[in-house]
A and B are shown apart, each in its own frame.
Chain A
Amino acid sequence: MDLITLAEVSGNLSAIGYGLAAIGPGIGVGIIFGKAIEATARQPELGGRIQTLMWIGFGLVEFLALLGIVCGFLFS
């Protein structure tokens, strides 16, 4: 860091990469929970089953975000 440099950007590109990778799963998880709430509101008697399906979908979608984290470390 010398005097000529007034501002520098330090850090890793993988952070940005993870930020991008998190967009998709973020939207997906949001949709899953929103739809589950909607479905439960429409048919409260199926709440248990809907919740089970919701968790399955959540696990699957969130795996993409987790993959982003692992890849961030993997390719750095």
Chain B
Amino acid sequence: MAGLVSAQMVLASGPNFPTINDFLPPEILFQGTPFALNRIVLIRLIMTVVILLVLGITTMRAKLIPGRWQGAVEWMLGFVRNNIVYEVMGERRGKRYVPMITTMFMTIFLFNLCEVIPGANIAATATIAMPLVFAFWTFFQYWIAAAREQGLGKYLRHELIPKGVPLPVLIIVLPMQLLDVLVVRPVSLMVRLFANMLAGYFILELCLAAAQYFLVNVTDKLMMPLGGFMLIAALVMTLFESFVAALQAFIFATLSTVYINLSYPEEA
């Protein structure tokens, strides 16, 4: 970092560092209408088409005896079903939520992967709107499940007044729990995903911008090793961000399942 700062001081035009403006790209199509498009929305749309095409063709060609690619897709579906939904909710309850959680996991994972795809370089989930839509889907699902399975009153009583809490503590716990049920759950889902994508983008682009700057823009040969180091760091961060993409999708899906499961009455 010291090298970075001094280099910035030496040269008038510093490296092309990422800014948060990258997350607020200008509208490029249909400006001003409710259907305006910016760069991230465009990436999202393209990724959607790619997902529909690839998975659609896989589904159309799905055979009884799976090939290698079909096996991988089936493994993923099986992972979401068994390791996320059935693990948390059990098979009987979880059955109706398998499509929802599968949609969430696959979409978030593949949208997150856009972060390390050259040309896109920014996660398709990296504006707050996409995580917001997902988070509110979960939000509505767990309220609906609560109303259907045990009634809202019973659900709120169960959630807001934990068993065995003395009255004075309850005065603090009650609003906290209410806040948790109403705000914290969806907002934390939303912000976690978005913040992770934001941080990943910054770290990755920082490494790449520095590598480009030191290897290409700066003529000073002394800076070459630093540029090489930054390139290797970018490579490592790319791998790490692919991992984070899967991890965040997993956490989002698991937490959605957990929240929905909390709406069900305690299992006997």
Residues of chain A at the chain B interface (Cβ within 8 Å): 1, 48, 51-52, 55-56, 59-60, 62-63, 66, 69-70
Contacts and interface: CB of A to CB of B under 8 A. Distances in A.
Contacts, number: 38
B188 A51 contact: no
Question: For the complex, would chain B's binding face be called helix, strand, loop or mixed by DSSP majority?
Answer: helix
Nearest to B179: A63
B258 A1 contact: no
B88 A66 contact: no
Nearest to A61: B188
Contacts of B102: none
A52 B192 contact: no
A41 B254 CA distance: 21
CB-CB nearest 8 A-B residue pairs: A63-B188, A66-B191, A55-B258, A69-B195, A63-B184, A59-B255, A52-B88, A55-B254
> Which bracket fits the contact residues of B?
10 to 19
A66 B262 CA distance: 22
Contacts of B261: 52
Question: For the complex, would chain A's binding face be called helix, strand, loop or mixed by DSSP majority?
Answer: helix
Contacts of A56: 258, 262
B191 A69 contact: yes
Contacts of B184: 59-60, 63
Nearest to B20: A73
Interface in B137-157: none
B39 interface: no
B22 interface: no
Contact of A51 (B88, B191, B262): B88
13 contacts: A51-B87, A55-B251, A55-B258, A59-B184, A59-B255, A59-B258, A60-B180, A60-B184, A60-B188, A62-B192, A63-B188, A66-B187, A66-B195
Contact of B191 (A1, A60, A70): A70
A42 B88 CA distance: 19
B17 to A, nearest CB: 12
A1 B88 contact: no
Nearest to B88: A52
A48 B191 contact: no
Residue among A1, A51, A56, A66 with max Cβ neighbours from chain B (10 Å): A66
A30 B231 CA distance: 31
Nearest to B180: A60
B55 to A, nearest CB: 27
A20 to B, nearest CB: 17
Contacts of B189: 59
